């Protein structure tokens, strides 16, 4: 966890409060700097429960491919572009969300055709975002405004140890979604 915290600080994302169970950040989530810190920190595993994962795949394709090729346990969940329209319309206040999502998934299929086992799709409304990186879990509750999911970019987030009670619960939640998700 220390490497991750240090790399977030190098990217200008600083903890606001900390105790033995949780480190809170007031901002920085899902920014390019956030993902850069993640990709520079991971040693053994990186699991991402996202929607479009756009920022992860627009500037970091080379890093992700190198991590996968190096044997990092990488798993990434996307919201399915074939989800019910109600879910897609709630997912983000963006008129072209479904088009963007489809384009990103197609790009992943093309770029990672030899590693498609690392990617899956789910088709329900998330209630929290979960990222598992080595021995740490990053999480953000999903908040709504005007019946749409509020933007995540640069919002607050928390990091907890994966071996904590809450960490184990979040890891189990990720595993259940992964096991029930469909191949991309």
Dump pLDDT digits (tens) for 90-127: 666 666 788 989 999 999 999 999 999 999 999 988 87
Token pair of 132, please?
């598992």
Alpha-carbon distance values, 54 to 101, 135, 175 (Å): 8, 24, 22
- How far apart, in Å, are the Cα atoms of 118 and each of 68, 69, 112, 151, 167? 9, 12, 9, 25, 22
Q: Which helix (DSSP H) or strand (DSSP E) does residue 120 occupy?
A: strand 119-122
Over residues 133-157, the mean pLDDT reads: 75
| Distances, alpha carbon 167 to alpha carbons 33, 70, 139, in Å | 24, 26, 9
Listed residue (84, 74, 87) closest to 120, CA to CA? 74
pLDDT category, 148, cuts 50, 70, 90?
low
Q: What is the pLDDT of residue 162?
A: 96
What's the pTM? 0.91
Q: Which of 73, 70, 15, 61 is nearest to 36 (CA)?
A: 61
Lowest-confidence segment of 13-27, 31-45, 92-106, 109-123 by average pLDDT: 92-106
Nearest CA among 135, 124, 118, 138 for reference residue 65: 118
Average of per-residue pLDDT across 148-176: 86
- Bridge partners, residue 77, by sequence: 49, 120
């Amino acid at each position: 966890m220390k490497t991750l915290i240090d790399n977030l600080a190098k990217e200008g994302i600083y903890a606001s409060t900390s105790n033995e169970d949780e480190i809170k950040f007031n901002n920085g989530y899902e920014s390019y700097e956030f993902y850069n810190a993640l990709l520079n920190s991971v040693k053994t595993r990186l699991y991402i429960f996202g929607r479009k994962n756009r920022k992860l795949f627009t500037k970091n394709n080379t890093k992700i491919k190198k991590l996968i090729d190096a044997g990092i346990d990488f798993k990434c969940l996307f919201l399915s572009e074939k989800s019910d329209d109600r879910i897609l319309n709630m997912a983000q206040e963006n008129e072209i969300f479904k088009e963007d999502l489809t384009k990103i998934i197609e790009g992943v299929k093309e770029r990672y055709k030899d590693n498609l086992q690392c990617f899956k799709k789910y088709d329900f409304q998330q209630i929290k975002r979960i990222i598992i990186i080595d021995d740490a879990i990053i999480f953000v509750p999903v908040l709504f405004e005007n019946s749409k999911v509020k933007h995540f970019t640069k919002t607050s987030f928390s990091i907890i140890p994966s071996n904590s009670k809450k960490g184990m619960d979040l890891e189990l939640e990720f595993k259940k979604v992964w096991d029930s998700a469909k191949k991309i």
